Amino acid sequence: MSALVLDGKALAAQTEAEMLERVEQLKAGSGGKTPILATILVGDDPASATYVKMKGNACRRVGMESVAVEMPSSTTTDELLARIDELNQNPDVHGILLQHPVPAQIDERACFDAIDLSKDVDGVTCLGFGRMAMGEPAYGCATPQGIMRTLEAYDIDIEGKHAVVVGRSPILGKPMAMMLLAKNATVTICHSRTQNLPDLVAQADILVGAVGKPEFIRAQWIKDGAVVVDAGYHPGGVGDIELAPLVNRVAAYTPVPGGVGPMTINTLILQTVQSGEKSLG
């Protein structure tokens, strides 16, 4: 069988067209105001700068505005907290993104948690995670939320399936597991210290690779007919899962690149539009 390709790039382009219409409606009803995403980049990490630029470009494609806040690598936690507080207080800013990682001297968790819940469009606060896990309204972490939107768009059945998430990071593995659980999957969370990992991966009807190591999850571990989601991206264009041998064995898979990545940025923009609609609409 030939697997269904869960094409995040195509899905993101399709939903950008829908978002453009929503932003135009907002502008018409609010005297020309648009949702605004503030991006905070601390330091001079080139990869982070590229990601921030991509997010600004995505804002422009849907007719939104973005504000780029750039701070030096010598920034202290207090200086960053003060800047976040300014953005929290600014009624024209509807979403705040603090680009990860920040320089080592900064308390990143304290800065994430300083973001107002109503502007936490990247889903990084403890309060947002707790509300999401309890089934209360909150913006989900952008990557797992993007994965859930992809599965839904391609009519992947989740209810009653065994989902295995390999990775337990606070902004990917853990919220991914909670979101799948909320859709009535039976969820197993694995990590670097899991014993008999191949045996657990072999049970997965839905597999999410989020371990952060190139092709760490081997193709022979994965059963025929599984749905495979690769949330990793590494030099050479490979993810966390050995995908090449799977394309004629599994039911569906996300390509790397072009699968999870575009839907992460797309979800961040969508959640900023939703925040803008609440504020301006």
Are residues 105 and 146 both part of a single domain?
Answer: no
CATH of the domain at 242: 3.40.50.720
Give me the domain span that covers residue 227.
142-260
pTM: 0.96
State pLDDT tens for residues 16-47: 999 999 999 999 999 999 999 999 999 999 99
Average pLDDT along the chain: 96
**Same domain as 104, residue 157:** no
Q: Please classify residue 74 by burial: count the beta carbons closer than 10 Å to its beta carbon, then call 0-12 exposed, 13-18 middle and 19+ buried.
A: exposed
- Pinpoint the alpha helices (H) of the chain: 8-29, 46-61, 77-89, 108-113, 126-133, 142-153, 173-182, 197-201, 260-280
Structural domain count of the chain = 2
pLDDT band at 192 (very low <50, low <70, confident <90, very high): confident
Q: Is residue 157 part of a domain?
A: yes
Distance CA 30, CA 24 (A): 10
Together in a domain, 179 and 236: yes
Q: Which residues form the catalytic set?
A: 55, 99, 122
Q: What percent of the chain has pLDDT over 90?
A: 98
pLDDT of residue 2: 86
Kindly tell me the burial class for residue 46, based on how many C-beta atoms sit within 10 Å of its own C-beta (0-12, 13-18, 19 or more). exposed
Residues 194 and 252 in one domain: yes
**How do residues 131-163 score in pLDDT, each as one tens digit?**
999 999 999 999 999 999 999 999 999 999 999
Output the domain CATH number for residue 97.
3.40.50.10860
> Does any domain span residue 94?
yes
Domain-terminating residue out of 63, 96, 125: 125
Query: Identity (one letter) of the amino acid at 154?
Result: Y
Q: What does the alpha-carbon distance between residue 260 and residue 223 come to, in Å, rounded to a whole number?
A: 21
The string over 53-63, giving b where at least 16 C-beta atoms fall within 10 Å of a residue's C-beta and e elsewhere, is: eebbebbeebb
Q: 188 pairs with which residues across the strands?
A: 164
Based on the fold, state whether residues 113 and 167 are members of the same structural domain: no
Same domain, yes or no: 74 and 149:
no
Q: What pLDDT is stored for residue 268 in this prediction? A: 97
Please compute the mean of the pLDDT values over residues 172-189 and round it to a whole number. 98
Q: Say yes or no: 184 and 94 in one domain.
A: no
